[in-house]
Amino acid sequence: MVKRALLSVSDKTGIAEFARGLESLGVKIISTGGTAKILRDAGIEVTDVSEVTGCPEMMGGRVKTLHPRIHGGLLCLRESKEQMAEAEREDISLIDMVAVNLYPFEVTISKEGVELEEAIENIDIGGPTLLRSAAKNYRSVTVLSDPSDYGRVLKELRSTGVISEETRAALAVKAFRHTADYDAAIDTYLSKTLLGENVLRMNFTDGVKLRYGENWHQKAYFYKDPKIEGPTLAKATQLHGKELSYNNYVDADNALQTVKELGNANPAVAIVKHNNPCGLATGSTLLQALQAAWDGDPISAYGSIICTNETFDLKAATFLNGKFVEIILAPDFNPDALEYLKNKSENLRLLKLPDLREAFGTDYTYKYVIGGMLKQSRDISLYEKWESVTDMSYPEEKRSLSEFCLKACKSTKSNSVNLAYEYEPGFFMVLAMGAGQPNRVDSIRKLAATKAIENLKVIYERENPETSFEDYCQKVMSECVMASDAFFPFDDSIIHAAENNIRYIVSPGGSIRDGEVIAAANRLGVSLVFTGMRHFLH
């Protein structure tokens, strides 16, 4: 039972209401400084810590609760006759509850121009010690480090008169996690400020075991970042289907990031297979975007992951009839579409992510390598310049299509080359991609160009235009844009592009042979833009 509680908080949110609730249950309250004043102003009876310890607060408030009559009252093992007798002999009264949150160190150091002295004064000593003492003895003491838990604790006390051991254990773990994060922030700041050393401490929680890793014989787990904001797979709700695997998470993350590149102006769909967007399109409707994305590579779309920025509707759902996909990730699903997709397959995973249209909440990405961690800023920008470098100037009306193609290219594994087509005015699709090749020319001649012709064959047979396939193919290719994620080291890429009637190319430029590349483009009637920005993705 809770007879005495110590309340000493930096964040005063809800503390008066909590204390009033405890008082109504007969709990005696001990408090310090500003917290005690707030409680007294609210008409709550409070005993000052200094009355318990017999010592005044000292050292400018630095020393208040660091005393045996406080920590003895927390750490005393109630089941130990020896310790209980010792407590009585030393006039130590037991404390059954602690509500403490810490000086705002992270808020302080986030302020521009903060001085070291101010940061140090916001390093809490007594608070973490109280939390750790109470958490260590959680079988007898309830510890609260988060104001959001006040209501839960009061509800239990009112309904049963006690706090369950399950709740006390959960709150103890939360308190230790809180002090660990707090100390990690101090270490990171002081290592940089005092020693000039960069320290990276990361915190991931709620780990779940996955079906398997990249391969069936590998074990895998997924952990969540509890502080991340914006759309993430960690926030997605699975509405249907079997549990996700390691590869599902990797591919779904690529699909999410790729769709986010296209913004929210139009319905957009990304179809990802083996961590590459094999289909990507915008449309006037979700169905139109989905059809165009599927046309980008119908073969690779088998067993793929689909992500869209639109609520999934029944028309889009019925389009997938007879088509095998692993996951659909969307902001939401219309009820009829959800029912249809659930009946389609018991294994199809349906993931709902309501804030999919919101901005990402991080500016960095991380990648673990054996023995170390790589950290880099996210590849957010698209180009540094827009410089037409050939005799045939790059038409401005191709700018929007080119930007779409660049966004597709930066989401595709290097060396990457993408072909994009404006299949209807204002709406774009990836016609083909060349991904993951050790040389760029193979990305064009062996993959992108060849795949584009294959995909156009499917579209041609469905639409049945009044022209030969050769003429149809030549016309479409001549209207496409090709984007490369890095410069062309030789002019052979330009030559192979021109052989396939590709007339508009976007590249970062920057090769020592840029002159030869430009000369080849001029000779072959290709319009070339240099952007000054590379987009490798490994």
Whether residue 236 sits in one domain with residue 111: no
Per-residue burial over 497-512, b if 16 or more Cβ lie within 10 Å, else e, is bbebebbbbbbbbebe
Q: Which of 195, 226, 245 is the last residue of a domain?
A: 195
Q: Give the integer Cα–Cα distance in Å for 48 and 193.
A: 37
Whether residue 316 sits in one domain with residue 225: yes
Whether residue 518 sits in one domain with residue 390: yes
Whether residue 88 sits in one domain with residue 149: yes
Q: What is the residue type of 274?
A: H
Q: Give the integer Cα–Cα distance in Å for 219 and 96.
A: 42
Evaluated on CA atoms 289, 295, 300, 303, the torsion sign reads positive
| CATH assignment of the domain containing 43 | 3.40.50.1380
Check residue 448 and give its pLDDT: 84
Whether 343 and 324 have beta carbons less than 8 Å apart is answered as no
Whether 397 and 421 have beta carbons less than 8 Å apart is answered as no
Domain count along the chain: 3
- Tell me the pairing of strands 372-377 and 47-48: unpaired
Check residue 58 and give its pLDDT: 79
Q: Give the integer Cα–Cα distance in Å for 30 and 51.
A: 9
Check residue 310 and give its pLDDT: 97
Residue 308 belongs to some domain of the structure:
yes
Mean pLDDT per 10-residue section of the chain, whose length is 538 residues: 92 94 95 92 92 82 84 93 93 94 90 92 92 96 96 95 96 96 95 95 92 94 93 96 94 97 96 95 98 94 96 97 96 97 94 96 93 94 96 96 96 93 96 87 84 90 90 94 94 93 96 96 97 95
The interaxial angle of helices 469-479 and 449-463, nearest 10 deg, is 120
Active centre residues (catalytic): 136, 274
Whether residue 286 sits in one domain with residue 223: yes
* Residue 431: its H or E element: strand 427-434
Residue 359 belongs to some domain of the structure:
no
Whether residue 188 sits in one domain with residue 223: no
| CATH assignment of the domain containing 508 | 3.40.140.20
Whether 260 and 360 have beta carbons less than 8 Å apart is answered as yes
Residue 203 belongs to some domain of the structure:
no
Whether 389 and 528 have beta carbons less than 8 Å apart is answered as yes
Whether residue 389 sits in one domain with residue 241: no
- At residue 297, the 3 state secondary structure works out as coil
Give the residue from 172, 199, 203 showing the smallest Cα distance to 186. 199
Residue 366 belongs to some domain of the structure:
no
Whether residue 216 sits in one domain with residue 190: no
Whether 57 and 40 have beta carbons less than 8 Å apart is answered as no
Whether residue 51 sits in one domain with residue 14: yes
Give the residue from 400, 430, 396 showing the smallest Cα distance to 416. 430
Evaluated on CA atoms 405, 407, 413, 415, the torsion sign reads positive
Give the residue from 227, 535, 213 showing the smallest Cα distance to 383. 535
Whether residue 300 sits in one domain with residue 437: no
Q: Tokens 């199809």 appear where?
A: 348
Residue 111 belongs to some domain of the structure:
yes
- By residue range, what is the domain housing residue 169? 4-195
Residue 501 belongs to some domain of the structure:
yes
Whether 144 and 163 have beta carbons less than 8 Å apart is answered as no
**What residues are paired with 388 via a beta bridge?**
529
Whether residue 191 sits in one domain with residue 270: no
Residue 343 belongs to some domain of the structure:
yes
Q: Give the integer Cα–Cα distance in Å for 149 and 127.
A: 17
- At residue 341, the 3 state secondary structure works out as helix
Whether residue 343 sits in one domain with residue 424: no
Check residue 60 and give its pLDDT: 74
* DSSP calls for 218-274: S--EEEE-TT--SS-GGG-EEEESSPP-HHHHHHHHHHHHHHHHT-SSS-EEEEEET
Whether 42 and 112 have beta carbons less than 8 Å apart is answered as no
Phi, psi of 537 (to 5 degrees): -140, 115
Q: Give the integer Cα–Cα distance in Å for 393 and 319.
A: 41
Residue 364 belongs to some domain of the structure:
no
Strand order in the sheet with 417-424: 237-240, 349-352, 325-330, 304-308, 268-273, 276-282, 427-434, 417-424, 481-484, 504-507, 527-530, 387-388
- At residue 483, the 3 state secondary structure works out as strand
| Contacts (Cβ under 8 Å, ≥6 apart) of 376 | 364, 365
SS3 letters across 436-448:
CCCCHHHHHHHHH
Q: Is 240 exposed, middle or buried (0-12, 13-18, 19+ CB in 10 A)?
A: buried
Check residue 436 and give its pLDDT: 84
